[in-house]
Amino acid sequence: MNFLSKFIFYLKKLFDLAIIICFISSTFLIQSNESLALSKSQGENLFIQHCAGCHVNGGNIIRRKKTLKLAALKRNGLDNPESIAKIARLGIGSMSGYEKVLGEEGDKIVANWIWEQSQNAWVQG
């Protein structure tokens, strides 16, 4: 092979490699988008099943001031998903914990969803 054909040969290899990289990264992006959407609807489902009975629309039908709205969460020092997940697991005050029914990671999934809702004032669907 002369220099030029060698050069073209490697150029083609490089081109193939670039295509492969594009392909892999795009499937990865699609997957992570799907799993994001999945954990979002999982969070909503967990909330409906285990929390909405008392916290409908992020409120609190038992303790009026202990809502899941941003202002209340801030006032009570719970304005982060970790604190919400801990309460989901272990409960707080007169609320019991839901560790057993939420399943593995369920506390975090529902807490992330609640945290997101609180930042959107519980208005989005």
The answer to whether 109 contacts ligand HEC (rule: CB under 6 A) is no
For the bound state, the minimum distance from the C-beta of residue 36 to ligand HEC, rounded and expressed in Å, comes to 20
Query: Which residues between 23 and 62 bind ligand HEC (CB under 6 A)?
Result: 50-51, 53-55, 60, 62
Of the candidates 39, 59, 76, 79, which one interacts with ligand HEC according to CB under 6 A?
76
Of the candidates 43, 44, 58, 78, which one interacts with ligand HEC according to CB under 6 A?
78
Count of residues that interact with ligand HEC, criterion CB under 6 A: 25
For the bound state, the minimum distance from the C-beta of residue 61 to ligand HEC, rounded and expressed in Å, comes to 7
- Output the CA torsion sign for 27, 28, 32, 35: positive
Among residues 38 and 101, whose Cβ is nearest to ligand HEC?
A: 101
For the bound state, the minimum distance from the C-beta of residue 98 to ligand HEC, rounded and expressed in Å, comes to 4
What is the SS3 string spanning 86-124?
HHHHHEECCEECCHHHHCCCHHHHHHHHHHHHHHCCCCC
B/e letters for 86-113, b = 16+ CB within 10 Å, e = fewer, are bbbbeeeeebeebeeebeeebbbbbbbb
- Output the CA torsion sign for 5, 6, 11, 12: positive
